[in-house]
Amino acid sequence: MILSEIQQFIAANKRASIADLKLHFRTDGDALRRMLDRLVRKGRISKMPEAKKCGGCCSCSDDATEIYVWVNADRATPAAESVSLNCH
């Protein structure tokens, strides 16, 4: 797995949680975070400041609510609503 694959995944999905990325790439969360930090520094993605949990299922882990979003030229700020794609 390389940075461009992570970048393509987030660009295609517009956003992804650590849980989504761990599942898709079958990789440790800490290794992913190091690569994601590099993409954040390059301005390709942005980390949501604080994601909301769905509000009742109790199955939202911290990995499911740590969300990264694609940064496009038209809109520098990520979407306001940030709920994991894995949330039921």
Strands (E), the chain: 15-17, 45-47, 67-70
pTM of the model: 0.71
- 58 found inside a domain: yes
Residue 31 included in any domain: yes
> Residue 64 — φ and ψ, nearest 5°?
-75, -20
Whether residue 83 lies inside any domain: the answer is no
pLDDT band at 41 (very low <50, low <70, confident <90, very high): very high
CATH code of the domain covering residue 18: 1.10.10
Structure confidence by residue, pLDDT tens digits, 54-70: 666 666 677 888 899 99
Is residue 33 one of the residues assigned to a domain? Answer: yes
* C-beta of residue 57 within 8 angstroms of C-beta of residue 88: yes
Q: Is 14 domain-assigned?
A: yes
Report if residue 81 sits inside a domain: no
pLDDT at site 77: 40
Closest CA relative to residue 24, chosen from 50, 4, 5, 51: 5
In a domain, 77, yes or no: no
Question: Mean pLDDT over all residues of the chain?
Answer: 80
Q: Which two tokens stand for residue 22?
A: 């761990």
- Full residue range of the structural domain in which residue 60 is found: 3-70
Assigned domain for 26 exists:
yes
